Amino acid sequence: MSITWTRAACIGIAMAFTAGAAMAQSITMASTTSTEQSGLFGYLLPEFKKATGLDVKVVAVGTGQAIDTARRGDADVLFVHDQAAEEKFVSEGGAVKRWPVMYNDFVLVGPKSDPAGIRGEDIVAALKKISAANAPFISRGDKSGTHAAELRYWAQSGLAANKGSGYKECGCGMGPALNIGSSANGYVLADRGTWLSFKNRGDLAVLVEGDTRLFNQYGVMVVNPAKHPHVKAADAQKFVDWVTGPAGQAAIASYKINGKQLFFPNADR
């Protein structure tokens, strides 16, 4: 009977060791909903696993929340798109370095009939017209990179305190914000990647694009192990090296929906 127990115990220990080893072969990434909902990670991360054997668990929230997650040490790597907030995170010691990875742009979508008459290239002029018309505008309101960009544009318009009676914050991700915009026939600032992958467009169309202020840069950082010793810094660095290296950059460039490229690699290496 003791032999049976010993064998069972050995099997249990072996299983626990195997599970522990499997856990060691993964990292946690705090990222933004645009990289997740655009389908990029579903395409990119299997390629990374093929190259390294590492799994990546993605916590997809707004950029502000993602940075807070990394600040608490609840992630090994941070992949977001608010450069000012990222640089602040690095200056505070949250990471040692920030690497640029890729870019796309923001677009302002709205009803094809464009009742506020915003169609064009000027994002600031468009917001002024939306405010004047009290047109429905759905803001993410979630401290994401997209929300931070939207607030910058409102500030540049001089209307940060007067966005019109149609302005509503949903406190939600990019996909849900677009769903609300579609059902309300409202205007929404979106990253192009999520817009291209979004299916429930209803009557929405891209109305404002091409303004240089709509440029949208993404960066990646390893969470500082000096602050959080449990961080898997070596494995996180493998991801950074891969995604900013030739293979990762090529994978980003090759991700397309209906023949359209969603993100453009621009790692500075």
Structural domains of the chain sorted by starting position, each given as residue range(s) with its CATH number in brackets:
2-103+217-265 (3.40.190.10), 104-214 (3.40.190.10)
CA–CA separation, 73 and 228 (whole Å): 6
| Spatial CA neighbour of 149 closest among 66, 222, 212 | 212
Residue 149: Cβ-neighbour burial (10 angstroms; 0-12, 13-18, 19+): buried
Neighbours of 200 (CB within 10 A): 11
Phi, psi angle pair for 193, to nearest 5°: -60, -50
Task: Give pLDDT, residue 187.
Answer: 98
Length of the chain measured in residues: 269
pTM of the predicted structure, to 2 decimals: 0.86
pLDDT of residue 12: 45
SS3 207: strand
Q: Which residues have a Cβ under 8 Å from the Cβ of 177 and sit 6 or more positions away?
A: 138, 139, 140, 170, 188, 190
Phi first, then psi: what are they for 114, rounded to 5°?
50, 65
Amino acid identity for residue 110 in this structure: G
Burial (CB < 10 A; 0-12, 13-18, 19+), residue 124, is middle
Q: How far is CA 2 from CA 7, 9, 143, in A?
A: 9, 10, 59
Tens digit of each residue's pLDDT, the chain (269 residues): 444 444 444 444 444 444 444 444 999 999 998 898 899 999 999 999 999 999 999 999 999 999 999 999 999 999 999 999 999 999 999 999 999 999 999 999 999 999 999 999 999 999 999 999 999 999 999 999 999 999 999 999 999 999 999 999 999 999 999 999 999 999 999 999 999 999 999 999 999 999 999 999 999 999 999 999 999 999 999 999 999 999 999 999 999 999 999 999 999 85
